[in-house]
Amino acid sequence: MPDKHDIKPGQSIELLKELHILTRDGKMNQDSRRKLKQVNHLYQFIEPLLKELQLDHADITLVDHGAGKSYLGFILYDLFFKSQERGSRIFGIETRDELVEKSRALAERLEFPGMSFLNLSVAESIHSDALPATVDIVTALHACNTATDDAILFALKKKARFIVLVPCCQAEVAAVFRKNKAAELAANSLTEIWRHPLHTREFGSLVTNVLRCLQLEAHGYQVNVTELVGWEHSMKNELIIASYKDLPRRRPSERLNELLNSLGLAEMSHRFFIP
């Protein structure tokens, strides 16, 4: 049987079995325990945001991008949404049709009527009529490469009050670093930071997230960056939480432009657009 500390009070054992976190006889292996611990740990960050929204209005809309098998969406619905007003809803956005169909079937089987699953890319979802004009909270857990940036654009367009991101596989900035490396090496000593291929990849990943944070701040959000779990559980564990506070935009906008120009990334300004 799983350790009592792994399962939250009221958490559906049937759901955990359906997600293959628990075996049919209720057991849990080490790999499943890590997965459950990661999702439950993320829930601890999201729950206060949901409660804050609840103080403002009863019906909460959450959109989960790059949902995959919708572990996060199902856990959120089970622990929070299923006890809320009938108008509250979780949308899972996923490109793989077979995962969308499995999630739809599971939601029906578990009688989770407030869950919807759409076969769309994150970029397509920005303009889809199947989603509401505004949403309360946007999540993107390990949405690969530019899908995280598309999730940010989605959240900005939908005027999301909260954005929760765990970025993954950021390759676009590193590719621009590699392309411009020869031309920049002689002129700018900063390029030593990403001269070696391993450093190019790692620094590119770091810079991508720094730019994303500045982009969000340039739209009036307060941004906090922390670790989701310890390094022993996941190498991609940077957690970015943005809360809309209508903060001053000029300085982060200027810093974003300065950083793009000083690192030879001006051609990427379209990706991290400023209002």
Q: Concatenate the DSSP letters of all residues of 160-190 into one string.
A: -SEEEEEEE---HHHHHHHHHHHHHHTT-GG
Helix and strand numbers (H, E) in the chain are: 9, 7
- Please report whether residue 29 resides in a domain: no
- Please report whether residue 216 resides in a domain: yes
Structure tokens at 141: 């857990």
d(CA 105, CA 52): 31
- Please report whether residue 25 resides in a domain: no
- Please report whether residue 147 resides in a domain: yes
Q: What is the CATH number of the domain that holds 96?
A: 3.40.50.150
- Please report whether residue 126 resides in a domain: yes
Beta carbons of 12 and 110 less than 8 angstroms apart: yes
d(CA 49, CA 43): 10
- Please report whether residue 185 resides in a domain: yes
d(CA 194, CA 87): 49
d(CA 42, CA 12): 17
Structure tokens at 221: 């959000």
The pTM for the full model equals 0.91
Phi and psi at residue 143, in whole multiples of 5°?
Answer: -75, 120
User: Chunked in runs of 10, what are the mean pLDDT values of the chain (275 residues)?
Assistant: 63 86 77 77 93 93 93 93 86 95 95 95 94 96 82 96 88 87 72 89 92 96 87 68 96 95 89 75
Structure tokens at 257: 């432009």
Domain that holds residue 215: 37-268
Q: What is the pLDDT of residues 253-274, one digit of tens each?
A: 999 999 998 888 989 988 887 6
The pLDDT value given to residue 186 = 64
Q: What is the pLDDT of residues 122-137, one digit of tens each?
A: 999 999 999 999 999 9
Split into its structural domains, the chain has a count of 1
- Please report whether residue 10 resides in a domain: no
Structure tokens at 23: 């075996």
- Please report whether residue 273 resides in a domain: no
The pLDDT value given to residue 231 = 46
- What Cα–Cα distance (Å) separates residue 83 from each residue in 73, 76, 112, 136? 15, 11, 10, 18
244: Cα separation from own chain's centroid: 16
